[in-house]
A and B are shown apart, each in its own frame.
Chain A
Amino acid sequence: MNSYRGSEQEYIASLLQKEQVAWREWYHSVSPGLMSLCIRYVRDRDLANDVLQNSFIKMFHSISSFQFRGEGSLKAWASRIVINEALRELKSRSEWQRLQFEEELAEPEIIEPEVESLSQEEILEFILQLPDGYRTVFNLFVFENLSHKQIAEHLNITESTSASQLHRAKSILAEKIKLRQSLDKKIL
């Protein structure tokens, strides 16, 4: 978890003043968490670094529009900017359009995998194996708690596409997790 030396509220005054020291400290405090977020969306490490840097530049310029709504709201605001930047990056990819509008055929019921034993790195690895479209919908639905309606608005797709993409994403994830677990069992 990110550990703030002071409270977010204390940070905000200095960040609003564009104090270099405050921005540096805040960057070092939140960037590892935000980097993880970037990676989950754009997968490529270099691109994730780009997205992170662009996001910080945006935060710096738009900090005056930030409204404090209690502890954690600054981090949430920063995350939203990062996600928007990541989506911008994803949408600029040529393969994005192709991925987005594939309506999925009805999928069979997903058999729940056992996920308790998975480490963070393993989970990330599985998520990163998902194609861009599925992964984005999965990230937005599961991690950002967005509804299909909100996702549809963000990605310019229909709600049903969002739902089918999520279903497909979960189905792929479940298969991969189960496959890995069965392989592990065999090896052991």
Chain B
Amino acid sequence: MKRNWSHTLREKMEGHEMAPDSDGWQKIEQSLFVELPAEVTSIPLVGSSARIARRRKVQNLAIAASLGGILVCGALLFSTLDRKQQISPNRSLTLEGNKEKLKTSNKVENIGLRTESEPAIVKIEKREKSLLRNLDPFITRVNQNRKEVETYIDSRSLSSFSGTGIQTYGILSGAKIVADPYPYKNFAVTAKQKQSDRISSSNKRTKERRGFSFGPIAGQLASNSTAQNPGYLTLSGGSATRMAMAQLDAPYANVLVENLAQKASTEINHHTPVTYGLAVQYPLTSKWSLSSGVSYTLLRSDLKAGTETSYWESRQDLHYIGVPLFVNYEISETSKVRTYAYGGGEVKKVVAASSRTKYVVKDEPETFTKEKLSEKPLQVSLNAGVGLEYRLHKNISLYVEPGIEYHLNDNSSIQSLYKDKPVNVSLRTGLRFTIGKP
């Protein structure tokens, strides 16, 4: 193929310029350099005073939870004295109170504001709206001649580019919420329904049991959670839209630009964690014993943010090694099977944390990233539950322990089930060695 004349064309065209729209830069500027309050742009999105306020809340909660623990132990004692006495309603109330507090603290924490008051939330919303307003001409321009104006008008009312999901993210605690601009309104209903459903069914089950009733507490909690939020979120604890404004890298940007005028949402699914352990048990009296050892927990979370066709998908794995310290109280014992109640605490440390993200633009995978998270937070939890132990050998037994755990905030920016839902149902299983005999 001769290229001389076409090559000449190219040479002649060198340096050719055309003026873009006179307000071209203005539009870009509005979408890139909208002034953001300093505390909102930082990642993790938590201001220092919010952190202090949160710490206070956590302390209060810790005290409340400890009291709850004492109540549980007390209740156990009572239950052995008078097995017909029902104590669960009281306990259930305490925990409900706790849960309300948790909702509040989470809400503040995830919005990442310096203050906890309502006006602050309003402020954020206003800012989002102004951001959106600034983007309006740009988005409209993007959609010209593409017959997408309708979609855009629709999405504008849903604040597609605003990342309002942050407001609702932390409040979710266990119900599957289908795309809704304000998921937690729905959640209130769904959760209540679920709660009452579970209470009625679990009451039936547990009334026949000896000692104490566990059902009503577990009934209002779920150990795995799926939540869908409008806007973009990441597992490292922030709104990607805001990150985009400040420091996002290319793969995120590709998805954001592609979805500029469309409804975007984030779905986060925390898998149910199971804790495996090797435990040692030391009997204190014929009924009471102390149990400790090592445990391993894998906390897996999946996140999908964007639209149907352009999105990113992350899977985060947090591997915990922990040391529990529990007090067990024997409820019944046969030659092979022993049932007991336990209460205590556990200190867990993330030993490995990884995150894999796939970026898909227009249904085509663009990039894969894999990163090891450097943040390895320490996690403290308070645990209570019932255990079933099957004796394999004289001193060796297999145990399964369903229970509830309350996780104190680890002050990290990593999003996990524990952060999303500090109180949740747990399942512990493993091998236990009994040493000594009183």
A residues with CB within 8 A of B: 1-2, 18, 20, 23-24, 27-28, 31-36, 39, 44, 46-50, 52-54, 56-58, 60-62, 64-65, 88, 92, 110, 112-113, 115-116, 118, 120, 123-124, 127, 138, 142-143, 163, 166-167, 170, 173-174
Return B304 CB to nearest CB of chain A, in Å: 20
Return A162 CB to nearest CB of chain B, in Å: 12
Size of interface on B: residues with Cβ below 8 Å to A: 47
Q: Which residues of A contact B252 (CB under 8 A)?
A: 61
Q: Which of A2, A47, A138 has the most CB of B within 10 A?
A: A47
In the complex, are the beta carbons of A118 and B20 less than 8 A apart? no
Could you list 17 A-B pairs, sorted by A, with CB under 8 Å? A20-B29, A23-B32, A28-B25, A31-B20, A31-B25, A33-B17, A46-B141, A57-B257, A60-B253, A61-B244, A61-B249, A61-B256, A112-B2, A115-B12, A123-B9, A124-B13, A124-B16
In the complex, are the beta carbons of A57 and B31 less than 8 A apart? yes
Question: Known pairs A31-B24, A61-B252. 5 more at Cβ < 8 A?
Answer: A27-B28, A53-B24, A61-B248, A143-B13, A166-B1
Q: Which residues of B contact A47 (CB under 8 A)?
A: 144-145
Whether A120 touches B12, Cβ cut-off 8 Å, given contacts A20-B33, A57-B31, A113-B5, is yes
In the complex, are the beta carbons of A112 and B17 less than 8 A apart? no
Return A101 CB to nearest CB of chain B, in Å: 19
Return B353 CB to nearest CB of chain A, in Å: 23
In the complex, are the beta carbons of A49 and B24 less than 8 A apart? yes
Q: Which residues of B contact A142 (CB under 8 A)?
A: 3, 6-7, 9-10
Q: Sort A-B residue pairs by CB-CB distance and give the 10 closest, nearest first.
A: A61-B253, A62-B250, A32-B17, A35-B20, A1-B15, A35-B18, A36-B16, A36-B18, A49-B21, A120-B16
In the complex, are the beta carbons of A50 and B144 less than 8 A apart? yes
The A-contacting residues of B in range 350-394, CB under 8 angstroms, are 362
Q: Which residues of A contact B138 (CB under 8 A)?
A: 53
Q: Does B134 count as interface, using CB distance less than 8 angstroms? A: no
Whether A57 touches B24, Cβ cut-off 8 Å, given contacts A44-B145, A124-B16, is no
Q: Does B254 count as interface, using CB distance less than 8 angstroms? A: yes
Q: Which residues of B contact A56 (CB under 8 A)?
A: 28, 32
Q: Does B120 count as interface, using CB distance less than 8 angstroms? A: no
Q: Which residues of B contact A28 (CB under 8 A)?
A: 25
Instruction: Tell me the nearest residue of chain A to B253, going by C-beta.
Output: A61
Instruction: Tell me the nearest residue of chain B to A122, going by C-beta.
Output: B12
Q: Which residues of A contact B254 (CB under 8 A)?
A: 58
Q: Does B52 count as interface, using CB distance less than 8 angstroms? A: no
Complex Cα–Cα for A134 and B3 (A): 16
Contact with A along B115-145 (1 / 0, CB 8 A): 0000000000000000000000010011011
Contact with A along B213-254 (1 / 0, CB 8 A): 000000000000000000000000000000010111110111
Return A37 CB to nearest CB of chain B, in Å: 9
